[in-house]
Amino acid sequence: MKQRAIDFALLLIGLLALWQIVSLIAGTSAVTAPADTLVYAAGLLRTEDFWRHAAASGYALALASVIAMLGGLALGLLLGLNRLAGDVADPMLLTMFSIPKITLYPIILLIFGLGLSAKVAFGVMHGIFPVAIFALNGVRNIKPIYLRAARSLSLTRASTALTVLLPAALPEIVTGLRMGFAATILGTLIGEMFASTKGLGFLLVRSLDNHEVAQTLSLALFLFVFAGVANAILLALEKRMHRTAAP
Amino acid sequence: MTLAGSIRLALMIALAAILELACRTGLIDRLTMIPPSEMVTALWTILASGSANADIAYTLTNTLAAIVCAVLTGFAAGVIIHALPRLRRVLDPLLTAYYAVPIFAFYPLLVLIFGVTATPIIVIGALFGMVSMLTSTLIGLDRVPPVMDKAATMFGLGPLQALLLIRLPATIPYLITGLKMAVVYSVIAVVAAEFILSPKGLGFRIAFAYNDFDNRTMYGLLLLLITAVTVVVLLLHHIEQRVHERWARQ
């Protein structure tokens, strides 16, 4: 544990040093120094304005994550139940995942208009495919003997899904949820950058336009820390899942 | 063609037909989406007139440059980090959280540093792609069967020879997976960067057409982009599966 704390401290020091070097080379008008940025960030966190935008982003992110996770799980589990349906859907999901969805943004805007629904839709578009892909693969890689057991107990489809498929595929599903959540953060944020008057993504774009470098970096830092912590929590959960599922 | 492939094709055609019908009957109004058949003719006009050729070449060059940088640096860093377990332990949290944090927030900073040129686009594309190559290289080297290392010792190979002759060839399936993901991530980042701020390129043209209410150009170029990405991804996916099958058999 102590070893890990030291490693983490070393990583932080390394990143800060890198940041300092970049800011020295690029000049403080392009990249502010770490110390100045941290002071600015501490001030930013005390403003009411920041938390209003953060709350708007949080609300959109929560909505988008719930929709992406439930939708992705339903899609992955249903398609995974049938060998043929899985074969048909797998490359399609992969392609949807790999398309630069940012270019589809105009379509989303034309359909949903500016505002909350557009950014939620954009978050869902990013998050749903990783969740579905991992759930699908999780279900497809289940040992056939589990399915035979379910059949010999003559379980219905619904109870097979709930009592056999879901627990057996859980480690993979949790991995998918983690990746999906990260993608949803990115999607929601990009959504706010283009079409919103609220949220951290909007603040980010505004500070860029006004050339407020310290604010841009503070926001990026806040988002990194938030996403990093969320990822670490989900990763810890995932590791526990994989350990308990191993035997 | 396999049964799954035929069903997939039929599904796509059905989907296009439904869209076509919805657009033609006015269920989806023309300001939102133009019928798929018109997207094809729009794309044809753009390609025939050559008006987007410069943008296509720009995006293609940027993407290729980003992929080459991502794959080479990712691979080299992977080999080096694998040889230094201490460094790897320190970097581990960064590598696992890399795709979870919105790296893209860096793009504007890169523009501030490099100016509105192709450089920040290539850099963000390479940054986005290289970590998937790096992690794949690490995982691949981790999973080299111990028996192969024993064989290397038996033949009295030095560390470098063992790496080149035994460990790397054994890693190839993982490297292919890494390459695929690096391509996907690099393409996403390059197009997204062009979409946000760029002097030209496909992403730039799509954003421009959108702001200009020029739906024909926008949907024509979107069709081109999505088709190109789909073909490349499916091709890489196919190669990956074949390589994995071959290696699994050996």
Q: Residue A192, Cα to own-chain centre: how many angstroms?
A: 15
Q: Which CATH architecture has domain B46-249?
A: Orthogonal Bundle (1.10)
Task: Tell me how many domains chain A contains.
Answer: 2
pLDDT tens track for A97-144: 888 787 788 788 888 887 888 889 999 999 999 999 998 888 888 888
Domain layout of chain B by residue ranges: 46-249
A190 and A113 share one domain = yes
Burial class (CB in 10 A: 0-12, 13-18, 19+), B244: middle
Question: Which of the four pLDDT bands, split at 50, 70 and 90, describes residue A247?
Answer: very low
| Cβ-nearest to A224 among B90, B101, B210 | B101
CA distance B161 to chain A (A): 31
Return the residue in B188, B197, B205, B241 with the most chain A beta carbons within 10 A, the one to mutate for interface testing. Answer: B188
Q: Is the pLDDT of residue B150 over 90?
A: no
A206 and A158 share one domain = yes
Q: Is the Cβ pair A103, B191 closer than 8 Å?
A: yes
Q: Is A216 on the interface with B (CB under 8 A)?
A: yes
Contact of B133 with B179, CB cutoff 8 Å? yes
A18 and A40 share one domain = no
Q: Is the Cβ pair A186, B102 closer than 8 Å?
A: yes
A220 and A191 share one domain = yes
User: What pLDDT does B43 receive?
Assistant: 92
What's the length of chain B? 250
> Which of helix, strand or coil describes residue A236?
helix
Contact of B106 with B160, CB cutoff 8 Å? no
A53 and A152 share one domain = yes
Q: Phi/psi at A28 (nearest 5 deg)?
A: -70, -15
A64 and A82 share one domain = yes
A148 and A168 share one domain = yes
For chain B, the average pLDDT equals 87
Full-prediction pTM beyond 0.90?
no
The span from the CA of B238 to the CA of A130, in Å, is: 19
Chain A residues touching residue B113 (CB < 8 angstroms): 22, 26, 30-31
A47 and A14 share one domain = no
Share of chain A above pLDDT 90, in %: 16
Q: Phi/psi at A150 (nearest 5 deg)?
A: -60, -40
Q: Is A92 on the interface with B (CB under 8 A)?
A: yes
Chain B residues touching residue A26 (CB < 8 angstroms): 112-113
Q: Is the pLDDT of residue A15 over 80?
A: yes
A21 and A89 share one domain = no
> Which of helix, strand or coil describes residue B116?
coil
CATH number at residue A131: 1.10.3720.10
Structural domain boundaries enclosing A19: 1-28
Q: How far is CA A184 from CA A120, A176, B59, in A?
A: 9, 12, 26
Chain B residues touching residue A109 (CB < 8 angstroms): 210
Q: Is the pLDDT of residue A215 over 60?
A: yes
Contact of B166 with B149, CB cutoff 8 Å? yes
